[in-house]
Amino acid sequence: MTVSEIGCFKSHYQILLDHSLQDKDAWLLVLEDDIWIDPSFDIQEVLDFCNKNKIDYCRLFAKSYKAARVIGWISGFRQIIRFKTDPYGAQAYLINISGAKTIVSGLTKIVFPIDDELGRFWRHDLPPFSVFPFPVVERNAVSQIEAHRNQSNTTRIYWRIDLLSFRIAEKIRKTIYNLRLDFGQGLGPQ
């Protein structure tokens, strides 16, 4: 990982850790500095939906749209969806104290960038719920983290047996987790 990715990870981790230590039931809105927010977006409506449906973590942005299932509707033709895979990006999300505790309790060392770590829902048990269409968009700006990641990916060896076996194991864990969610094994709203 690059120095920028480690710094980004640490800033998210620290704010999540601080939030997890709160003694009241509260939500944290995490926003990176390279986003725009829809000024008419009703965040309270999302919080009410999440509280009612026992959702601890909700993305307001994703790098890309991936396969998802509609969980419910809110005003403005917006949906609450559950992604079946990591949609990437940590630019904007809501997380309550329980969700923050879940994330920080499983992080004992930095292994992946924070957006990758947040996307590993089968590991930390916080499914990737999101508002769609996204109320937050990423500004068209040059990202140092993205540039470094793309540069290092050109030299990375993708087909090493250890990397390949890790990716296969992760895919199996994700598939099992999604099946448990889809068939109502008590992991989030159905």
109-139 tens-digit pLDDT: 998 999 999 999 999 999 999 999 999 999 8
Range of the domain at 69: 3-158
pTM higher than 0.75 = yes
User: Is 163 within the bounds of a domain?
Assistant: no
Lowest mean pLDDT: which of 86-100, 119-133, 145-159?
Answer: 145-159
Helices 3-20 + 144-155 axis angle, to 10 = 120
Asked if residue 133 has a cis previous peptide bond (ω within 30° of 0), the answer is yes
Is residue 189 one of the residues assigned to a domain?
no
Helices 97-105 & 3-20 angle (0-180, nearest 10): 130
- Asked if residue 115 belongs to a domain, the reply is yes
For the chain, the domain total comes to 1
Return the H-helix or E-strand segment holding 98. helix 97-105
Q: What is the pLDDT of residues 11-65, one digit of tens each?
A: 999 999 999 999 888 999 999 988 999 999 999 999 999 999 999 999 999 998 8
User: Is 127 a member of any domain?
Assistant: yes
Q: Is residue 86 part of a domain?
A: yes
Out of 2-6, 47-51, 183-187, least confident range: 183-187
Neighbours of 122 (CB within 10 A): 21
Is residue 148, in this structure, part of any structural domain at all?
yes
